[in-house]
Structure 1
Amino acid sequence: MAWMTKGLALDLLAILTNASQSAFDRIKEEPDQENWPPAEKTPDEPETPKQDPAPTPKPDAQEPPAVDNTADLLTEAKNLLQSISAAGGRDWIKTTLLPKFGVAKLSDVPADKLPALIEAAKNRKKETQ
């Protein structure tokens, strides 16, 4: 697999680790169900009616829904940095861009700083074209 570099492998591992952690956190939030699966009812037991849960208020149209798009941002950043590197900008990435965010590799960039990194990479790409 000559197309897979060490950096790409590390980025993919970071994405998978993040997805695994998100799944773990989601499962951890669920309440424990000690009597799962539920015991089957005998024919002489009456069914208990289900109560409708309280309606949840609809979110404002002005607020965008909270979406965890870290993996998408990481992929976009990776693709931009690969194209900059291929165009001879590897030194700029290592000596200017990543130190600006206080990291040594892309997978260490905090999720909230990925949009700024992507913007800086896009600007650099425009400058060099």
Structure 2
Amino acid sequence: MSAPSAPATGAPTAAPSAPAPGGTAPATAVQNGKTRPADLPADIPLPTGKITTVNGATGGYLITCEAADGDLAAYQAALKAAGFEVSPVGDGSVLAEKGESNLLITSSSTTITVTYAKI
């Protein structure tokens, strides 16, 4: 029998938390065994799909979530509701900006990837 694997970030996992309204998970939320980075600003919503990868460090992350048809539009609406200025940049990509937070969102038929950079 193999031992359970640790999260990709190497960070300890927190107890699962339910997403808040609008799909925003609390800062300590665990989705599919991957933890939302604790230092990711709490006002940044993430897509509602399961987090499959988290890479990066303080001030910059690449977070990939499972997605289905319509999830990108729903995520854009959640970003706008959170006060982000959202602009399409072509090829299914979106730029979202608010204060010091810049997000580049790319999507495919099965994933949404959020690249976060603090400026």
After TM superposition, the score normalised by the length of structure 2 is: 0.22
Higher strand fraction (1 or 2): 2
Higher helix fraction (1 or 2): 1
Higher relative contact order (CA 8 A, sep 6+): 1
After TM superposition, the score normalised by the length of structure 1 is: 0.21
